[in-house]
């Protein structure tokens, strides 16, 4: 089962781009994939005592996981740097404090030696606790460094046993770091409680959750996620918006990510030259339970506070991502003094009206993705349409004129034929 997830990594970013009508230029821009850095994947496997249960095609959960890992290791693309981390693999005792530290790097993230990795997996035996939160924190460290995509694939058959360290909160904290890390989760023969927890973890980072009850399902899904890591992706660039325009960061064309607290306003600045136009869009995702009825507002204003244009959208509680965009036409050219025309500073303000449900932590803020595109505006009589309708205006006018003339000719011919018929 795939969750609603944060569409901003996928659908959210696409919807935002479509909302503003954005097409990135061919040159490298912020957030654009370079295709040079190696993608990294850390497989995090639950090796707790419950993995002894024999309910996956007549074999134990641990045996099914080992078979899946062997096939995945054989099929891993050469360009992917892969590692394996375990949780609950070493401590069999009853001391909770010790059990909640039981996570270890079985195989380091890096170029894959398939034989060595398979040998390490073969040694695993279901043992101890289920410290999902601590394991995710360590896995994020395993993937530290590099500009390629980063993905954690968590496979577990039970919910975390190390509260109050909530793994959902851990996932949100990881996402808030802006390192472009995605967590996908798989539940082995899951209970309803486990499904909720693993779904929450995945949604916090824009990942997916899948329920698994058969060997083939497990193998196919892990293979799919590892292969996905090798696909070119656009990783948003972290940008920390300010509380006022004068303190806001100046952004160029690209895709950016930020976090916005409930009731907060985030400001960004964009320099727009005469002859250019600004297209911007924003997506805000609910990565936790929120109250129904919310919206997102994006305003473009001058440095003096005059609103230029705005875009806004509202949600009814049935969607977890909401997007809007705006377009600011080219500024007036002023070449009277002969100097190079100065850029105009446009201030972008983003506000949302999400409110946290009862008992839900409000920090970190909700994930925000901002798309900025500064492009050359249309120029010349042949490109600029009457009333701003584009070249299609002239085509529409030509069709109307053609239809009018055709109607006149047909009417004249009809009258002439009727007159001839009356005469005869």
- Domains contained in the chain, CATH given: 33-229 (3.40.50.410), 237-376 (2.60.120.380)
Section 259-284 average pLDDT: 94
For 39-53, what is the mean pLDDT?
A: 96
Nearest-angstrom CA–CA distance, 20 and 278: 10
Q: For the chain, give the percent of residues with pLDDT over 90.
A: 62
| Segments in 230-280 forming alpha helices (H) | none
Question: How many residues in total does the chain contain?
Answer: 424
Q: Please give the pLDDT value at position 31.
A: 55
- So what's the pLDDT on residue 404? 81
Q: Which two three-digit tokens encode residue 82?
A: 């892969």
Over residues 283-341, the pLDDT tens digits come to: 999 888 899 999 999 999 999 999 999 999 998 887 788 999 999 986 555 544 555 66
- Which residues are bridge partners to 110 per DSSP? 82
Burial class (CB in 10 A: 0-12, 13-18, 19+), 411: exposed
Q: Name the pTM for this structure.
A: 0.70
- Model confidence at 179, pLDDT cuts 50, 70, 90, reads confident
Residue/partner pairs of 379-384 with CB below 8 Å, 24 or more apart:
379/275, 379/330
Cα–Cα distance measured from residue 65 to residue 369, given in angstroms and rounded to the nearest whole number? 35
CA nearest 219: which of 188, 248, 182, 196? 188
Mean pLDDT, residues 199-203: 93
Specify the pLDDT at position 26: 40
pLDDT score for 229: 87
The pLDDT value given to residue 14: 34
Per-residue model confidence (pLDDT) at position 360: 87
Is a pLDDT exceeding 90 seen at residue 392? no
Distances (CA, A) of 413 to 165, 406, 419, 420, 422: 86, 11, 10, 11, 14
Query: pLDDT tens-digit profile of 122-177?
Result: 999 999 999 999 999 999 999 998 888 899 999 999 999 998 889 999 999 999 88
Q: How far apart are CA 296 and CA 324, in angstroms?
A: 7
Q: Is the pLDDT at 102 greater than 60, yes or no?
A: yes
Number of Cβ atoms within 10 Å of the Cβ of 269: 18
How confident is the model at residue 382, as a pLDDT? Answer: 40
Q: How many CA atoms lie within 13 A of 106 on its CB side?
A: 29
Tell me the angle at which helices 167-176 and 132-142 cross, rounded to the nearest 10 degrees: 20
* DSSP class of 383: T
419 in helix, strand or coil?
A: helix
Helices (H), 21-60: none
């Amino acid at each position: 089962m795939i969750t609603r997830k944060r569409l901003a990594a996928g659908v959210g970013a696409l919807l935002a781009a479509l909302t503003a009508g954005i097409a990135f230029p061919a040159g490298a821009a912020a957030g654009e994939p370079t295709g040079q850095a190696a993608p990294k994947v850390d497989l995090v496997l639950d090796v707790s005592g419950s993995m002894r249960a024999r309910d996956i095609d007549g074999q134990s959960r641990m045996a099914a996981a080992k078979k899946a890992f062997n096939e995945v290791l054989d099929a891993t693309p050469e360009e992917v740097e892969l590692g394996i981390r375990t949780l609950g693999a070493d401590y069999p005792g009853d001391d909770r404090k010790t059990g909640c530290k039981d996570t270890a790097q079985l195989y380091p993230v890096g170029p894959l030696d398939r034989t060595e990795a398979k040998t390490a997996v073969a040694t695993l035996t279901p043992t101890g606790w289920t410290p999902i939160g601590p394991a995710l924190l360590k896995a994020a460290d395993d993937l530290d460094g590099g500009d390629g995509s980063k993905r954690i694939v968590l496979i577990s058959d039970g919910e975390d046993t190390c509260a109050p360290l909530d793994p959902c909160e851990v996932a949100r904290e990881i996402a808030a770091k802006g390192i472009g890390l995605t967590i996908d989760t798989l539940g082995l023969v899951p209970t309803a409680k486990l499904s909720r927890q693993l779904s929450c973890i995945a949604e916090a980072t824009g990942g997916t959750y899948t329920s698994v009850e058969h060997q083939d399902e497990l193998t196919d899904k892990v293979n799919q996620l590892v292969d996905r890591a090798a696909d070119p992706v656009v990783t948003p660039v972290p940008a920390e918006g300010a509380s006022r325009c004068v303190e806001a960061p100046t952004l160029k064309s690209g895709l950016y990510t930020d976090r916005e607290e409930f009731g907060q306003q985030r400001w960004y600045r964009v320099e727009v030259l005469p002859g250019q136009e600004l297209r911007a869009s924003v997506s805000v995702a609910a990565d936790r339970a929120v109250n129904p009825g919310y919206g997102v507002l994006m305003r473009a204003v001058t440095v003096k506070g005059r609103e230029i244009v705005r875009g806004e959208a509202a949600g009814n509680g049935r969607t977890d991502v909401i997007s809007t965009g705006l377009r600011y036409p080219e500024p007036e050219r002023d070449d009277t003094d002969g100097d190079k025309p100065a850029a105009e500073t446009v201030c972008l303000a983003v506000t949302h009206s999400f409110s946290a449900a009862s008992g839900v932590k409000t920090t970190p803020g909700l994930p925000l993705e901002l798309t900025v595109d500064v492009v050359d505006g249309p120029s010349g009589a042949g490109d600029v349409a009457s009333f701003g309708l584009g070249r299609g205006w002239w085509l529409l006018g030509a069709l109307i004129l053609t239809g009018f003339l055709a109607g006149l000719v047909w009417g004249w011919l009809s009258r002439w034929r009727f007159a001839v018929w009356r005469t005869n």
